[in-house]
Structure 1
Amino acid sequence: MRRVIVSAAAVALIASATTAFAAQTTTGTVKAFNHKSMTLTLKDGVKYRLPAGWKNPGLKTGEKVAVTYDVKNGKRTASAVEIRK
């Protein structure tokens, strides 16, 4: 019985650790895009760093977007930005 409980606890710990680092997606409206610093700011004030080599799909202020990101060291790093209609 003890082995079953320990095994179940280990599985639960591993499952929770993997989901804690899973990418998240949010939607919002572009407030600012700075190509030089590779940052995207949404109207809610949240900033996202964009990866090196990221290609701008034509972002403009006021455009609705979906941002897929991870949080690393308290900073949001986008892996994808998609323009929404």
Structure 2
Amino acid sequence: MRKIIVSAAAAALLASGSVAFAAVKHTTGTIKAFDATAMSLVLEDGSSFTLPKTFKDPGLKAGEKVRVSWDMSGKNKVAEAVKIVK
């Protein structure tokens, strides 16, 4: 019985660790380039993001300060949301 409990606890610990790495990240910066056709966004610090096909442009333009909520997909940063910051 003790082995089952220890095994279950170890499995739960390992599973919860991978969930923590899947958390959405946030970046705030100024837009350097936005291409609605290519679905890409580049910030002045060099961070680049791919935008999903369902992305609705809130009026993004170069020089605008934004907060990007993103996650990794392979080697690409995929923006889940882009919000203009005042």
Displacement of 1:77 in angstroms is 0.6
State the partner residue of 1:75: 76
How many residue pairs get matched? Answer: 85
User: When the two structures are superposed, what TM-score results if normalisation uses the length of structure 1?
Assistant: 0.90
Which residue number in structure 2 is paired with residue 32 of structure 1?
Answer: 33
CA distance in 2, matches of 1:66, 1:20: 20
Letter in 1 for 2:46: G
**Which aligned pairs between 1:53-72 and structure 2 lie closer than 5 A?**
53-72=54-73
Identity score, percent:
41
Q: State the partner residue of 1:16.
A: 17
Q: Runs of 5+ in structure 2 lacking a partner?
A: none
Shift of 1:7: 2.2
Give the corresponding residue for 2:45. Answer: 44
Q: Provide the TM-score with structure 2 as the length reference.
A: 0.89
Instruction: Give CA deviations for 1:15-73 in whole Å, capped at 9, x if unaligned.
Output: 11111112111111111001110000011111100010311101111111110111011
Listed as ranges, the gaps of 5+ residues in structure 1 are none
Moved over 6 A (4+): none
